[in-house]
A = this chain, B = another copy of it.
Amino acid sequence: MDALKKRILTEGKNLGRGILKVDGFINHQVDPELMNACGRELARRFAHARATKVLTAEISGIAPAFCTALALGVPIVYARKNRPITMPDQVYLTLAPSHTKGLNVELIVSPEYLGSGERVLIIDDFLATGQTILGLARLAKAAGAALVGIGVVIEKTFEGGRAVLQPLDLPVEALAVVTDMTDGKIVFAD
């Protein structure tokens, strides 16, 4: 994904303390063409995983997960952080520590849309500490679904998320792998 890396280098901002600002094309303003290209690439990498559903967490996971699901031709479910009034009383809920917010956030999925027999591909914008993705994996397991893979737009290796996800024993794909953000740099793995 050279287009993505180029964009990160030209428009991304290293705010220090490992914070990579990509609000101009992923997180607040979204470039739909770029995001669709990311979704197609993630779908290509997981084409043989036979996913029946894409699972993500609101809010910033929605765009890349949607594009991946569109390319795969399967539904996307986004875990809610607040239970809407349309959701049944009995739900799957897990707590995931938020690195950037410094507190636990709830991740909630209705059993109506996640169940046994599903083959779940988890997609998110970032793989950093891995805690959100680990929370999504717990929800899928609680629902009795099979996990088939994890795909992210950007991985920050120095936050250790890949090691956290290791026990899940799943293929993990990242379209841009950032290995170093010290001293204002943005360094990719390749």
Contact = CB atoms under 8 A, between A and B. Distances in A.
A23 B86 contact: yes
Contacts of A36: 70
A73 B59 CA distance: 22
A69 B66 CA distance: 14
Contacts of A15: 85-86
Contacts of A70: 32-33, 36
A135 B33 CA distance: 27
B30 A75 contact: yes
- Tell me how many chains of this kind the complex includes: 2
Contact of A63 (B19, B27, B62, B86): B62
Interface stretch (A76-84, A144-152, A160-168): A76-84
Given A36-B70, A62-B63, A86 B30 contact: no
A69 B32 contact: yes
Nearest to A31: B75
Interface in A118-142: none
Interface in A10-32: 13, 15, 19, 21, 23-25, 27-32
A86 B22 CA distance: 9
Given A36-B70, A62-B63, A70-B33, A77 B110 contact: no
A36 to B, nearest CB: 6
Q: 3 shortest A-B CB distances, which residue pairs?
A: A32-B70, A29-B113, A21-B86
